[in-house]
Structure 1
Amino acid sequence: MANDEFFSEKLRVPEALTFDDVLLRPKESHIEPDEANTETRVSRNVTLTVPVLSAAMDTVTESDMAIAMARHGGLGVLHRNMTEEEMAAEIERVKRADELIIRDVVTARPDQTVREVDEMMDRRGVSGAPVVDEDDRVLGIISATDVRPYLEVGERDEVREAMTDEVITAPEDVTPREALELMYDHKIERVPVVDDDDHLVGLVTMQGILQRREYDSAARDENGRLRAGAAVGPFEEERAVTADEAGADVLFIDCAHAHNRNVIESARAIAGSVDADVVVGNIGTREAAEEIADFADGMKVGIGPGSICTTRVVTGAGMPQITAVSQVADVARQHDIPVIADGGIRYSGDAIKAIAAGADAVMLGSYFAGTDEAPGRVVTMNGKKYKQYRGMGSVGAMKSGGGERYLKDTDDEEEEFVPEGVEAATPYKGTLESELHQLVGGMQSGMGYVGAETIPEFKERAEFVRVSGAGQQESHPHDVVITDEAPNYSPDQ
């Protein structure tokens, strides 16, 4: 290339596409939408019933969201704008939520006072506790009704005077049905689980059994506990180990631009230090995918597509999401590594297009930020309810510790931030369950139009067609005034 052609050559650029630029080409189908199986992998060793994750944002995913996501077959990724201790507690709360056998049991000693145990149960959020001796052998069980309001016993009396000492126990191999029958037969709500020597090893509760039966498609680990994801900073190996020890199934390297030599080396070290799967992101090119393919258990794709992300306009850098996903997926497929499309999804049709481009699952932020389970604050504007939503690159999130995601030093409190996100409000939507139902239902319909029964089959069969500006306009409702809003469509999205 001649010297006088250097800059003009840069303008011979490849085309990059995003969701509105393409549509799925309909094909002959024998698949009804309800028959479509959305099971997928999000990392090498973690499978979900539905291909959906909630984003690691402090106005989207804390334990309430993560529990709800896992119960409905997806995965919630806890944000990292909290202390290590808080993060570990949030992970443990998710893992304990639907356990058949609760292993971390709150216990009482027979010589404790009723008042001490009452305060302990209140502090730990439980309504009963097995009473054990110094060798953890079960002596009895005490419940809130035994100690409140101190009618039968005084608050200074010992637990042995208030406890029920005829205790029904169950062996470690007890099944949900057997435990439920014990509870019905003896009119009790909790059964201590003991080993062959009568040492306490866990507790089964009526509430836990009923929740497991209600959420039969939940995402669970090999021990039947709900799946949990957690975000860690690109250089936070200690936090990653803490999250791993707390029980996180998947750790997500939380970085806006993971194609960075220091980030990659740190992520490789983290992957070698934990048992959990490690998903590395965000990336947007095949070159980035090739750099992490030797150690990553998953790849997360998205450079600036989020609704509250300003990376592309602030930095001038980015990659339209359909092209980014397809480039990463070309590399990931060679190494059997799952791909997660993160950001830019407004409708269920966008989500299934991301799968068609090569993703195995999608991650959403604003889509879920308006639900009851999201931690954002509810505000009312012009008579309508909204929930607080902010990008992790916003000033507020950076001040809370999110700046490292953008490889920016946040230690200096007087530093003036250069944000790559905004703070906003998103319409209040109600329950996560209803939003997931519409999202996954739309994705299943997309699979039906292509004639694919499974996610892998859909990725093979799906073909795209390009859409013009007129075609985009034609895709939306037009030439009408919408009188009743549909639950899965808003022209303002």
Structure 2
Amino acid sequence: MSNEIEIGRGKRGRRAFSFDDIAIVPSRRTRDPQDVSVSWQIDAYHFETPIIAAPMDSVMSPATAIALGKLGGLGVLDLEGLWTRFEDPQPLLDEIARLAPEESTRRMQEIYAEPIKAELIKARLQEVRAAGVTVAGALSPQRTQEFYADVVAAGVDLFVIRGTTVSAEHVSSNAEPLNLKRFIYELDVPVIVGGASTYTAALHLMRTGAAGVLVGFGGGAAHTTRTTLGIHAPMASAVADVAAARRDYLDESGGRYVHVIADGGIGRSGDLVKAVACGADAVMVGAALARADEAPGQGWHWGPEAHHPQLPRGERVQVGTCGSLEEIMFGPGRQSDGTLNLVGALRRAMATTGYSDLKELQRVEVVVSPYQPR
């Protein structure tokens, strides 16, 4: 059955769905919430929750990465952020939180013009390692060639290559592009790479040897990619497409499983549940954790696209604060808007629909039921 819609006589388009467009359906069985498992594992690293913090300065500092690791999640440091450009970025984080909206982009471009320092990359990652939690850092594809040796030397456990979109077939007439397959083969740590938002792009990334693929394209709270570039990938369809690529690659490779990580559009607990239902093994969240009292952004949230020197494709947005990092992860919830107790909500949804672990929840029935806010 075709899912295409005629846009005009000369163009047809496939209908795609966001998390707001779908819902999950209870089955014939229910469970006690304490009897379900929300843990997952990638390579040799096991986590008690499927929550990965996005590598954004408003979300992750070495201190919050350590705190999230001790709560059973994974904090990923942005190795191109303020913490690797300045010895003490706190005054600049304070300044960004006070900026007037009309001057925020220009001033952030000035602040982020400071060069990245290899010695600070090592220092920040070693700080996390000293705390005894899993160490993860992220670079964009453009910076990976330049700094990956420093990342590995610092003792990173998981290496993330994250961009608005990452392909295994980047073409450039100006510079030698990163050969992902060769790079991952030669690297001695698991690599998570993305974003990808289509079946074909994800399948190609899986063939490079990546341990995980990030799914998303400019779908986060701080992105303006749709208005600046006209590009958007509704997350429910994107995750389901990439999960299909994972299934087919599992057959093609003779049993190699690549983890699918939803990255974008997950602002509240219900979005987390629906991401897993569409096939995600874990989720990478930004705004949801930027609301923590301890978050470096102090109630503001922004990504690297917000200070791009030539074409900003994001903005600094006010998300406010709603509780501590522990309360956001495990509650107790003091409001019913899905901002607190993300893990508790996931457990409750799994118990209500009768599934005992995340892999089982990927089989839950999903319906198209667009959300109508009150």
TM-score, normalised to structure 2's length?
0.78
Amino acid at match of 1:233: S
2: distance between equivalents of 1:318 and 1:64? Answer: 33
**Match for residue 139 of structure 2 among 232, 247, 253:** 232
Q: Find the counterpart in structure 1 of residue 329 from structure 2.
A: 436
Computing the radius of gyration from Cα coordinates, the structure with the larger value is 1
- Residue 192 of structure 1 corresponds to none
Counterpart contact for 1:370–1:430, Cα < 8 Å: yes
- For 2:129, the aligned partner's letter is K
Cα distance in 2 between the residues matched to 1:7 and 1:237? 42
- Preserved contact between residue 145 and residue 178 of structure 2 (Cα < 8 Å): no
What corresponds to 2:126 in structure 1?
Answer: 92
- The CA deviation string for residues 254-275 of structure 1, in whole angstroms up to 9 with x for no partner, is 2111126238843334313321
**1:44/1:337 contact within 8 Å kept:** no
Match of 1:338 in 2: 259
Could you tell me which amino acid in structure 1 is paired with residue 313 of structure 2? E
Matches within 5 A, 1:107-256: 225-235=132-142, 236-256=144-164
From 267, 279, 282, the equivalent of 1:358 is 279
From 340, 348, 354, the equivalent of 1:445 is 348
**Against the structure 1 CA distance between its residues 7 and 442, is the aligned structure 2 distance closer, same or farther, given a 3 Å change threshold?**
closer
Larger RCO (CA under 8 A, 6+ residues apart): 2
> How large is the RMSD of aligned CA atoms in angstroms?
2.0
**Pair 466,7 (structure 1): closer, same or farther in 2 beyond 3 Å:** closer
Q: Distance in 1 between matches of 2:311 and 2:279?
A: 33
Change in CA separation of 1:7 and 1:424 when aligned onto 2, cut-off 3 Å: closer
Give the drift of 1:86. 1.4
Question: Quick check: 2:168–2:179 contact (8 Å CA) kept in 1?
Answer: no
Correspondence for 2:70: 71
* Count of residue pairs brought into register by the alignment: 310
Matched, 1:317 2:228: no
Structure 1 Cα separation of the partners of residues 355 and 230 of structure 2: 38
Residues 59-89 of structure 1: per-residue CA shift (max 9 Å, x gap): 1112111101110111001012223221221
Match of 2:108 in 1: none
Alignment-derived partner of residue 213 in structure 2? 299
Judge conservation of contact 2:30–2:353 (CA < 8 Å) in 1.
no
- In the aligned structure 1, how far is the partner of 2:123 from the partner of 2:8? 56
Task: Report if the CA contact (8 A) 1:234-1:266 is conserved.
Answer: no
Q: Is the CA contact (8 Å cut-off) linking 1:237 and 1:269 kept in structure 2?
A: no
Look up the equivalent residue of 1:391 and give its one-letter code: G
Asked if 2 retains the 8 angstrom alpha-carbon contact of 1:45 and 1:277, the reply is no
Residue 58 to residue 446, structure 1, CA distance change in 2 (3 Å): same
Sequence identity (%): 31
1:248/1:259 CA distance change after superposition, 3 Å? same
The yes-or-no answer on 1:271 pairing with 2:184 is yes
Alpha-carbon distance, 1:90 to partner:
1.4
Distance 1:15 1:45, change over 3 A: farther
Are 1:284 and 2:197 an aligned pair? yes
1:10 positional shift: 5.2
Structure 1, unpaired ranges of 5+: 1-5, 98-224, 379-386, 399-409, 411-416, 479-493
Residues 316-337 of structure 1: CA deviation (Å, up to 9, x unaligned)? 1121000001101111233310
Instruction: Please show how residues 376-387 of structure 1 align to structure 2 within 5 Å.
Output: 376=297, 378=298, 387=299
> 4+ residue stretches of structure 1 with deviation over 4 A?
6-10
Structure 2 residue identity aligned to 1:359: A
Provide closer, same or farther for how the CA distance between residues 88 and 373 of structure 1 changes in structure 2, counting only shifts above 3 A: farther
Decide whether aligned partners of structure 1 residues 26 and 253 sit closer, same or farther in structure 2, where only a CA change above 3 A counts.
same
Give distance in 2, aligned partners of 1:439 and 1:10. 45
Q: 1:266 to 1:255 in 2, by over 3 A?
A: farther
What is the one-letter code of the residue matched to 2:127? R
Structure 2 residue 303 is matched with structure 1 residue 391? yes
Shift of 1:8: 4.4
Amino acid at match of 1:257: T
1:465 maps to which of 329, 350, 367 = 367
SS in 1 for 2:160: strand
Q: 1:452 to 1:430 in 2, by over 3 A?
A: same
Relative to structure 1, the CA distance from residue 373 to residue 269 in structure 2 (aligned partners, 3 Å threshold; closer, same or farther) is: farther
Residues 453/269 of structure 1: CA separation in 2 closer, same or farther (3 Å cut): same
Within 2, Cα distance between the matches of 1:56 and 1:271?
20
1:213 corresponds in structure 2 to none
Q: Write the deviation string for residues 113-146 of structure 1: whole angstroms up to 9, x where unpaired.
A: xxxxxxxxxxxxxxxxxxxxxxxxxxxxxxxxxx
SS at match of 2:300: strand
Instruction: Quote the Cα distance in structure 2 between the aligned partners of 1:452 and 1:464.
Output: 14
Which 5+ residue runs of structure 2 have no aligned equivalent? 1-5, 85-116, 172-176, 251-256, 331-340
Partner of 2:358: 455
Structure 1: distance between partners of 2:26 and 2:222: 32
Structure 2 counterpart of 1:425, one-letter code: Q
Q: Deviations over 1:5-24 (max 9, x none)?
A: x9946532111001111110
Contact 1:240–1:270 under 8 Å retained in 2: no
Q: Distance in 2 between matches of 1:284 and 1:66?
A: 27
Describe the shift of the 1:260–1:274 C-alpha distance in structure 2 as closer, same or farther (beyond 3 A). closer
C-alpha separation in 1, matches of 2:10 and 2:183:
37
| 2:247 maps to 1:326 | no
Question: Paired residue for 2:315?
Answer: 422
Tell me how far 1:238 sits from its aligned partner: 4.1
Instruction: Indicate if the aligned counterparts of 1:338 and 1:359 stay in contact, CA closer than 8 A.
Output: yes
